[in-house]
Amino acid sequence: MKTLPIIAITIGDAAGIGPEVVVKALRQPEIYTLCRPLVIGDARIFAEATFAAQATVKAVTDFAQADYGPDALTLLDMHNLDPAAVTLGQICPASGRAAVEYVLKATELALSGAVDAVATAPLNKEAMRLAGFDYIGHTEILAEVTQTPRCTTMLATPGLRVTHVTRHIPFRAIADKLTVDNVLDTIVITDEGMRTLGYPTPRLAVAGLNPHNGDNGLIGREELDIIGPAVQQAHAQGIHARGPIPADSVFFQAIRGDYDVVVCMYHDQGHIAVKTHGFEKSITITLGLPIIRTSADHGTAFDIAGQGIAHPDSMIAAITEAAIMAQRQQ
């Protein structure tokens, strides 16, 4: 047990399903064969939860006190969220603030080497903003705290992995944000990230932006002026990338096994493909950071919070992937 990597697992926004899926994930015996899980949250939230009977919680206030035994969920108690301030299924500034603090603590532990990786449960963007944090999501928090100028989010589900050049911006702004440099940068980060994931020579597909790949400029020139030149520069750096490939066929080709990962031009281009192919087991991995970070690939699901019906498959997959990545780097 002492040789297994330590994974810091944040509970996310406590008004949503984060604490529930974390508890359910850590009831799986196989998790303890892969890692030593350390939950970061507030013990009072678990005591109040409808699923509290499903887990014995061992709360510690000092990282050195953690023992990670499978008989009890080891929780680093931040004691920063009074359950009375949380209404399940509703946006709550208090839970938004606490959720960010859990991520900050986990990142601090990872940067110091106290833990080997971080796996996160979902945040709520509006709750974070009401609490005074102007972040779009985990990636932006982690990039700032780790002082990482270049990183990207990978979505992964069995049989399909994708990364994105642009993420949380309005649809009408996507084309304006695409440049040769940022498409190339995403290709490079993706190639580097895939190598850390165990792919010695990753095969990258780069998706086009416009219908029919722009039809040679008739319905858009991004493929000719931006994406194509970026792929050519990637080739010059020794990266095995092909594209642009029309987005209506590239995901089928990747699922068929032609490619290891697809570089997408915008958020939903990749998210729709991954979530259609394997939503329940899809996860996110932040590439380019100095730490390992994975996450469940779903939101706070306020509509089912507190009902005890949330599925933990994505959280299980996120913890598992974090453990495998950490073991690979040991």
- Pairing state between β 152-157 and 36-41: unpaired
3-state secondary structure the chain: CCCCCEEEEECCCCCCCHHHHHHHHCCCCCHHHHCEEEEEECHHHHHHCCCHHHCCEEEECCHHHCCCCCCCEEEEECCCCCHHHCCCCCCCHHHHHHHHHHHHHHHHHHHHCCCCEEEECCCCHHHHHHCCCCCCCHHHHHHHHCCCCCCEEEEEECCEEEEECCCCCCHHHHHHHCCHHHHHHHHHHHHHHHHHCCCCCCCEEEECCCHHHHCCECCECHHHHHHHHHHHHHHHCCCCEEEEECHHHHHHHHHHCCCCEEEECCHHHHHHHHHHHHHHHCEEEEECCCCCEEEECCCCCHHHCCCCCCCCHHHHHHHHHHHHHHHHHC
φ, ψ for residue 302, nearest 5 deg: -55, -30
> Is 33 in contact with 3 (CB distance < 8 Å)?
no
Q: What is the pTM of this model?
A: 0.90
Interior CA angle at 136 toward 134 and 140, to 5°?
A: 90
The Cα-based distances of 39 to 107, 148, 150 in angstroms read: 13, 25, 28
Interior CA angle at 145 toward 326 and 263, to 5°?
A: 65
For the record, the structure tokens of 1 come out as 């047990």
Q: What's the pLDDT score for residue 134?
A: 82
Q: What's the pLDDT score for residue 200?
A: 94
pLDDT digits (tens, 9 = 90+) for 139-156: 888 888 999 888 888 999
Residue with tokens 């932040």: 286
Superfamily of domain 6-148+289-329: Isopropylmalate Dehydrogenase (3.40.718.10)
Taken in order 28, 29, 34, 35, the sign of the CA dihedral is positive
Within the chain, which residues score under 50 in pLDDT? none
d(CA 77, CA 58): 9
d(CA 136, CA 153): 13
What residue spans define the domains of the chain?
6-148+289-329, 152-274
> Is 189 in contact with 152 (CB distance < 8 Å)?
yes
Q: At what angle do helices 247-256 and 267-278 cross, to 10 degrees?
A: 40
Picking from 258, 266, 261, the residue whose alpha carbon sits closest to that of residue 227 is 266
The two domains 6-148+289-329 and 152-274 share their CATH topology (first three levels equal): yes
What's the CATH fold of domain 152-274? Isopropylmalate Dehydrogenase (3.40.718)
